[in-house]
Chains A and B, each alone.
Chain A
């Protein structure tokens, strides 16, 4: 009985909740007043059995291709398609076709939840990828934990997720912020002005920035949090000019916030800037007309401009298949990388069964991804990345100024040991924040 039918026996009866809420097993879930649930469970299974057997291995993917986050999601959707097509092109996986079921939640957390349920409970996918904003990840993680679904979250984020079923192929602040702060303090001076999007990602990244800046002897002269819907920065630009910092650290996210760079440029604000989101994720250097993003320094594990031989091949394959691609951002490469890790683990495990694949993943496989050779960290389920710092020129061309090899998510390693302390049936599923 192959993996994907196992859920049928397990899914409708087991109910281990994530440890934060009540550990009470749901009595009613097993047998409602009319005893209907039991028959439902079986009924639910009957139609699944038919669909199981040796059919294709299913990969589920949720990326926003419309609404405010489409700018990040379009390249990601193409990257997933490319990865699956490449697998099928050379013989599929374990001699079975890989079928991609990719949906567009239209930048709405509500749709993320219902589509995650559809992919897990109805499509019975063997692995789930996707989620762009931290909000969408947190919206579907309870559903993933409840149904023991193997899940890869590709985007860079504020860090701290320690979840048995979740793997994170995007970088975390320890990997992105520390090297960037170190470089910028060295190059431009100790007074930093932080501009951050006013939600979890912006706030926690600012906490990390403050910690590293102070650790390295600098001072954060001001921290400003901007709601996602705000697009007017005149008061902020005035404050920056008055406080005259050495450089600015930016965690601005979304189409509205991009206007900060245009307005700053047109108001004559000339300051070197650092960011873990600009260019590499939302490719402003492609869409803003120069010199708005001049003197911006970004630290990423992946940029389309990376001039490794392996990346050039990846980029040309990508653009051959999708000529109208605007930019291949970090999120897209991480989708591709997630499938590489999953593929390696499935081959190792010899089955698509999620529990087996999970234990293989916890052996810390190494894959040669477009960004370079990367390994999975067994204890935190995060990825060890090389970090590249690029500077945006006056004509918005990118030039690499520094590379730091193999950075591990050290802070999380002290607080999260999934391989040793968490198991498939008694999972740890929490998110740790710097305050703790």
Chain B
């Protein structure tokens, strides 16, 4: 095994992991970064996206991209409903939003079990293998990472260049001020929660072909998503990307050299060390330097 091949191996894994971490964390970053809501049901929004994609694939025989979109819309609508019914009363109440979303998570998991049973038929992973310079990786994981980066770009464009984006960032900095300038912050929160849930649903849809469709599939993503968002710090775009890149690089190095358990432990230890050195997350560190 030449050194080059091992490095290529490692890079291919980092690239695949990067996509997973960005997809898992982006929706959460929007909601947590923007509105200070800790959404412990984030994993279940991914699950809803995955289920909607699998169902539309099997029942409506929709093509994969359409099915993934349906997954996004399903989570978005669910997010919107929950925001209007529950989350709306919990803004500025960080801890209470955590308890409420934990309750929502319990409900969604059990509801999925009751409606769809312990396991819903899975979906085939499209495209098959990809050989680059002697390293074989799954074509779909490359597609997933590319889509993840594209989504990052979309979110950046929405926040930087749309009217909604401007108002959203204003509300994020200082909602009282924004309100006094005539921004309907209530609508902004509604829109942002929908947007965050939609992105999370898309992520669920993208994950559907690679996971088994079970009610508890969301729990696998929640820890990584939270660690990525917290380590990333306040800036939704740059923070999520940089922390996802560094965490997946370190985790895959650990997994490659010492096995998956070490990879997992290393991810958590890295998060602890980064938080300890940069108490406000990576973006504040970058902003201070820029």
A positions within 8 Å CB-CB of B: 66-68, 70-71, 73-74, 198, 224-227, 229-236, 238, 241-242, 255-256, 258-259, 262-263, 265-269, 284, 286-290, 292, 324, 326
Residues of B within 8 A of A71 (CB): 118-119, 214
Whether a CB of chain A sits under 8 angstroms from the CB of B210 is yes
Asked if B217 and A255 sit within 8 Å, CB to CB, the answer is yes
Extra 15 A-B pairs, beta carbons < 8 Å, given A70-B118, A227-B261: A71-B118, A71-B119, A71-B214, A198-B261, A229-B220, A234-B13, A234-B138, A235-B260, A238-B135, A238-B256, A242-B1, A256-B220, A263-B210, A266-B141, A326-B117
Give the dominant DSSP class at B's interface. Answer: mixed
A266 partner, pick from B20, B121, B138, beta carbons under 8 A:
B138
Whether a CB of chain A sits under 8 angstroms from the CB of B209 is yes
A259 with B118: in contact, given A234-B16, A236-B260, A238-B9 (CB under 8 Å)? no
A268 with B129: in contact, given A224-B259, A225-B259, A263-B138 (CB under 8 Å)? yes
- B248 — nearest CB in chain A belongs to which residue? A232
A269 to B138, CA, bound (A): 10
Residues of A within 8 A of B13 (CB): 234-235, 238
What 5 A-B pairs come out closest when comparing CB atoms? A268-B129, A266-B125, A266-B138, A70-B118, A289-B124
A74 with B137: in contact, given A259-B212, A268-B129 (CB under 8 Å)? no
Give, as a whole number of angstroms, the nearest-CB distance from A399 to chain B. Answer: 22
Whether a CB of chain A sits under 8 angstroms from the CB of B211 is yes
Q: Which of B127, B138, B213 has the most CB of A within 10 A?
A: B138
B positions within 8 Å CB-CB of A: 1, 5, 9, 12-13, 16-17, 20, 110, 113, 117-129, 131, 135-141, 209-217, 220, 252, 255-256, 259-261, 263-264
Residues of B within 8 A of A259 (CB): 210-212
Q: How many A-B residue pairs have CB under 8 A?
A: 125
A258 to B211, CA, bound (A): 8
Give, as a whole number of angstroms, the nearest-CB distance from A224 to chain B. Answer: 6
19 contacts between A and B (CB under 8 A): A66-B110, A227-B261, A229-B264, A231-B220, A232-B16, A232-B17, A234-B13, A235-B13, A235-B252, A255-B211, A256-B220, A259-B211, A262-B122, A266-B210, A267-B138, A268-B129, A268-B136, A284-B212, A287-B119
A212 to B127, CA, bound (A): 38
Asked if A235 and B261 sit within 8 Å, CB to CB, the answer is no
Give, as a whole number of angstroms, the nearest-CB distance from B227 to chain A. Answer: 14
Give, as a whole number of angstroms, the nearest-CB distance from A331 to chain B. Answer: 13
Asked if B125 and A263 sit within 8 Å, CB to CB, the answer is yes
Asked if B117 and A324 sit within 8 Å, CB to CB, the answer is yes
Residues of A within 8 A of B137 (CB): 234, 267
A227 with B129: in contact, given A255-B214, A267-B138, A287-B122 (CB under 8 Å)? no
Asked if B136 and A74 sit within 8 Å, CB to CB, the answer is no
Give, as a whole number of angstroms, the nearest-CB distance from B31 to chain A. Answer: 23
